[in-house]
Amino acid sequence: MQTTPTAERVHIALLGRCNSGKSTLLNALTAQQSAIVSPIAGTTTDPVRKAIEIHGLGAALLIDTPGLDDSSTLGEERVSRTAKVLDQTDIAIILFTDAGYDIEQQIIEECRVREITTIAVLAQADRIADVEALRRDIESRINAPVIVLSAETGEGLATLKERLGTLRATDQRLITEGFCAAGDSVLLVMPQDKSAPKGRLIQPQVQTIRELLDRGCTITCCTPDGMAAALSALKRSPELIITDSQAFEQVYSLKPADSTLTSFSILFARYKGDIELFTEGVKALKNITATSRILIAEACTHTPQNEDIGRVKLPRLLRKRFGEELQIDIVGGAEYPDDLTPYDLVIHCGACMFNRRHVLSRVERARKQGVAITNYGVILAALSGILDRVRIK
């Protein structure tokens, strides 16, 4: 894998009213003309995403958004798209100008409620008459420092980058947190069957290997068929064994008694979502009947492997268990409904394309509405009787 996957990048949104200079700032921060800039209000019609490395912060994704005050016919749709950007935002840069404060203050409030880190900037400072007075006024209203910025003169850009460099995404965590420690031996049993991509490992496997190396663990990799040989080549039992759900039974039967066993999907359900809520969510299965309604939600609209699980495998398993009439709705991409209450259970995909905050925004919607939610990995583990036999946290 050549670059950091988008889902692993800190998501930084640029928010403000039309013509505040969001697109100009994106271009200035990336030193590229990626976003269209113009004096016409409503130039940016869809969020524009650009990968960037920020010293101190690391791999990030800048998201330019349509103006928050767009009142044109299509404006409402644009504003709602911008609001959805908040669902995935780790850090919000709010652009103030001399055109008013109300929308900016509202968005700062919204970010505070959602515990999104905010940075307020006063944009286009070169064309504001009394910058200092305006800056002080805004600071007292929002009770936070404001960085004075001009994309025209370059003023404040370095300060903004430095500020970003001091921030950490609020929920940075490890995939294998609590499962192993430095010096541990970890055995990865990874089936490479026909559905595995040619010539490379899938992203969860790559990320786990990289993290274990960083944590000072020693790693042994094998396929299920090579597991017995791998174990006998090791001087002691591995502290941890991680495998794929599909190989579980074989791995379980060979597992030394003193090794801990878990699966990639359990680790990623923890890393990306809320494992406690997901394991709680599968308990809703005991109340499912042939007349229940289940929502299967996919993060992306195109990955064939996910489609296979979400569109074929899971519905088949569920209908076999609860009856052919079971109502299953499948949504993909941004279609996740605002109202989840018609459903008895929501099953979300592993969300390899989403950052953690995005998954948690969706999980939170279900939790608030009192609807049980789980994910592919956890429900498959439950349906195949694995869940009780692996370590989940």
Ligand X SMILES: Nc1nc2c(ncn2[C@@H]2O[C@H](COP(=O)(O)OP(=O)(O)OP(=O)(O)O)[C@@H](O)[C@H]2O)c(=O)[nH]1
State the residues that interact with ligand X by CB under 6 A.
16, 18-24, 37-39, 41-44, 66-67, 123-124, 126-127, 150-152
Contacts 24+ apart (CB under 8 A), 311-315: 314/347, 314/376, 314/379, 314/380
Indicate whether 44 belongs to the interface with Mg ion (CB under 5 A).
Answer: yes
27 binds Mg ion per the rule CB under 5 A: no
Tokens standing for residue 33: 């003309």
Whose Cβ is closer to ligand X: residue 127's or residue 320's? 127
Residue 46 CB, shortest distance to ligand X, in Å, is: 10
C-beta closer to Mg ion: residue 47 or 315: 47
Provide the strand spans (E) within 223-361: 240-243, 260-263, 293-297, 327-331, 345-348
Pairwise CA distance, residues 353 & 11, whole Å: 13
- Taking the complex as a whole, the smallest distance from the CB of residue 206 to Mg ion amounts, in Å, to 35
Nearer to Mg ion, 23 or 279 (CB): 23
Residue span binding Mg ion (CB under 5 A) among the ranges 41-49, 89-97, 181-189, 199-207: 41-49
Closest CB to Mg ion among residues 44, 374: 44
Amino acid at 112: R
For the chain, what is the largest distance between any 2 Cα atoms, rounded to a whole number of angstroms?
A: 76
> Which one of Mg ion, ligand X, none interacts with residue 151, CB within 5 to 8 A by kind?
ligand X
As measured in angstroms, the least distance from the Cβ of 45 to Mg ion is: 9
If binding is defined by CB under 5 A, does position 43 make contact with Mg ion? Answer: yes
Q: Which long-range contacts (CB under 8 A, 24 or more apart) does 225-233 make?
A: 227/187, 227/189, 227/251, 227/254, 228/254, 230/187, 230/189, 231/187, 231/256
Give the one entry of Mg ion, ligand X, none that residue 67 binds, where binding means its C-beta sits below a cut-off of 5 to 8 angstroms depending on kind. ligand X
For every residue of 31-65, DSSP letters joined together read TS--S---SSTT---S-EEEEEEETTTEEEEEEE-
When the beta carbons of 81 and 215 are compared against ligand X, the nearer one is 81
- Residue 383 CB, nearest approach to Mg ion (Å): 47
Cβ closest to ligand X, residue 21 vs residue 310: 21
Q: 286-300 burial by CB neighbour count: b if 16+ within 10 A, else e?
A: eebeeebebbbbbbe
Q: Which of 338, 330, 327, 328 is nearest to 366 (CA)?
A: 338
Stretch that binds Mg ion, among 35-43, 77-85, 116-124, 221-229 (CB under 5 A): 35-43
8 A C-beta contact, residue 101 and residue 128 = no
**Minimum CB separation from Mg ion for residue 268, in Å?**
35
How many residues make up the chain in this entry? Answer: 393
Closest to ligand X by CB, 19 or 117: 19
Using CA atoms, how far apart are residues 13 and 23, in angstroms rounded to an integer?
Answer: 11
Closest approach, Cβ 99 to ligand X, in A, equals 11
In the complex, the smallest distance separating the C-beta of residue 313 from Mg ion, rounded to whole angstroms, is 42
Q: Cβ of residue 64: shortest distance to Mg ion, in angstroms?
A: 6
Under rule CB under 5 A, which residues in 238-257 are in contact with Mg ion?
Answer: none
- Interface characters, 7-26, with Mg ion (x: CB under 5 A): ---------------xx---
Binding partner of residue 75 among ligand X, Mg ion, none, CB under 5 to 8 Å per kind? none
For position 45 contacting Mg ion by CB under 5 A, the verdict is no
Q: For Mg ion, which is the closer residue by CB, 23 or 88?
A: 23
| Helices and strands of the chain, counted as H and E runs | 14, 14
Q: Can you tell me which residue has the tokens 């990623």?
A: 268
Nearest-angstrom CA–CA distance, 158 and 260: 48
Q: How far is CA 301 from CA 46, 86, 108, 331, 383, in A?
A: 18, 21, 32, 9, 25
93 vs 363 by CB, closer to Mg ion: 93
Question: What are the residues binding Mg ion (CB under 5 A)?
Answer: 22-23, 43-44
